Amino acid sequence: MNKKDNLLFVGFMGCGKSTIAKAYAKKYDKFFLDTDELIKQKFDLEIHKIFSLYGEDFFRNEEKKLIYFLKNLKNASIASGGGFIKHKKIKKIGTIVYLKSSFDYILNRLDETQILSRPLLSNLANAKILFDQRIQKYEKKADFIIDIEDKSIDQIITQIKKEVK
């Protein structure tokens, strides 16, 4: 674990980053934050509204600004949006944990509302292309890779705790 004791959860849309980061915070006494939630709260808008009103570049710029805020924190368990990995310098925030699963596993977990709330999931063929491109980025930047398929939340966070020490 690095000096700040922050964990940054990365992985594809819908893999459960927020659920895991929150459960980890509760069990291991950390503060929980979620980059999508911080941006939603700032504008009082849902993510798909931010995309449709202001565009993806605007959203990415908000994510970028968050890096400078998050890197000053200590003892936080942070869920990030699936595209947060695009940004340079995210390693400055803390230890990066990649929650890995297949595209099909993710799709099977999500209901219609969860799919509709994510603009980049609206076209599944494009989302699969994005998934294949992103995998390499997640693997490259991760300090730890945790395979989440068919595991309970408790199994996942216990494994993370063992690996990050």
Site for ligand S3P, rule CB under 6 A: 13-14, 17, 36, 47, 81-83, 118-120
Which two three-digit tokens encode residue 46? 């849902």
> Is 109 annotated for ligand binding?
no
Task: Give 36 or 94: the residue with its C-beta nearer to ligand S3P.
Answer: 36
Task: Give 65 or 74: the residue with its C-beta nearer to ligand S3P.
Answer: 65
> Is 118 annotated for ligand binding?
yes
The distance of closest approach from Cβ of residue 94 to ligand S3P in the complex, given in angstroms and rounded to an integer, is: 18
Taking each helix axis from N to C end, the angle separating 17-27 and 153-164, rounded to the nearest 10 degrees, works out to: 70
Q: Do residues 91 and 4 lie in contact, with contact meaning Cβ atoms separated by under 8 Å?
A: no
H-assigned helices in the chain: 17-27, 35-43, 47-54, 56-70, 103-109, 112-116, 124-141, 153-164
> Is 81 annotated for ligand binding?
no
The distance of closest approach from Cβ of residue 3 to ligand S3P in the complex, given in angstroms and rounded to an integer, is: 27
Task: Give 2 or 107: the residue with its C-beta nearer to ligand S3P.
Answer: 107
Which two three-digit tokens encode residue 15? 């893999």
Q: Binding site for ATP: what residues are annotated? A: 14-19, 118
